[in-house]
Amino acid sequence: MALARWRTDFARWEKIPGSPVCEVDLDVDRMLRARLEGLLPDAGWLSEETVDNADRLARRRVWVVDPIDGTRDYIRGREGWAVSIALVEDGRPLLGVLDAPARRERWAGTRGIGAWRNGVALHAGDRTELTGARVPTDALPKVDRHLTIVHKPNSIALRMAMVAADEADLVATLRWGNEWDIAAAALIAAEAGAGVSDALGAPLRYNKPDPTAFGVMVTAPGIHTAAVEWLSDRAKAVLGG
């Protein structure tokens, strides 16, 4: 559905300044909810494009969905967007799928079993030095010039998946983000052997009353501790010490 309407004329607006949305987000959201609730009627629902309902907190399982992650790239006709779907059980992702049809990619992960892209098993890289680590970004501040820039899709989920595929070594954010942005990709990265945490190095949990986390840190396993330490002062500054 999203691919068929990509690069066509559709309504678009901003939910709040700097946060774009389009009618395709909403249409995909409605379709996914109908299909996924049909598969698991007992599961709760948490989505970027659906008004949150506290009923999900009483459910063991909940679908955590971003109908189009990377809406900015979608609206601009670029390929860096994906449909992100995770099934969370007892606060931890059980299944995760990223469907990126413009890139002809489908990523999937199953807890305790592994992660794949287009059926090929994924394995995070073996980098052990932070210097030279590949980061999908548009630019680096002076303090981070020891890192290496690689191509950045707008979708944070696809950037996280790049670490799972050994196409990047480090993805980090130092701001409050939403569970639907990261749940599927975090599972895929973890099942590929990547280090995955919030910006302070703590484990990620899902289906919380406030469905947010302070940042995300996804790295090649050999540099996760070093990356958390490198960014710790900045993370604490954002949190006010």
Residue 210 marked as a ligand binder: no
Residues 6 or more apart in contact with residue 129 via CB below 8 angstroms: 223
State yes or no: 48 annotated in a binding site: yes
Question: Is 66 within any annotated ligand binding site?
Answer: yes
Which residues fall within 8 angstroms of residue 235, CB to CB, at 6 or more apart?
174, 199, 200, 214, 215
Buried b (16+ CB within 10 A) or exposed e, 54-63: eebeebebbb
181 is in an annotated binding site: yes
**Is 191 annotated as belonging to a binding site?**
no
Residue 97: name the closest of 63, 73, 124, 74 by CA. Answer: 63
**Whole-angstrom distance, CA of residue 157 vs CA of residue 153:** 9
CB 60 within 8 A of CB 110: no
**Residues that constitute the known binding site:** 48, 66, 68-69, 181
**Residues that constitute the known binding site for Mg(2+):** 48, 66, 68-69, 181
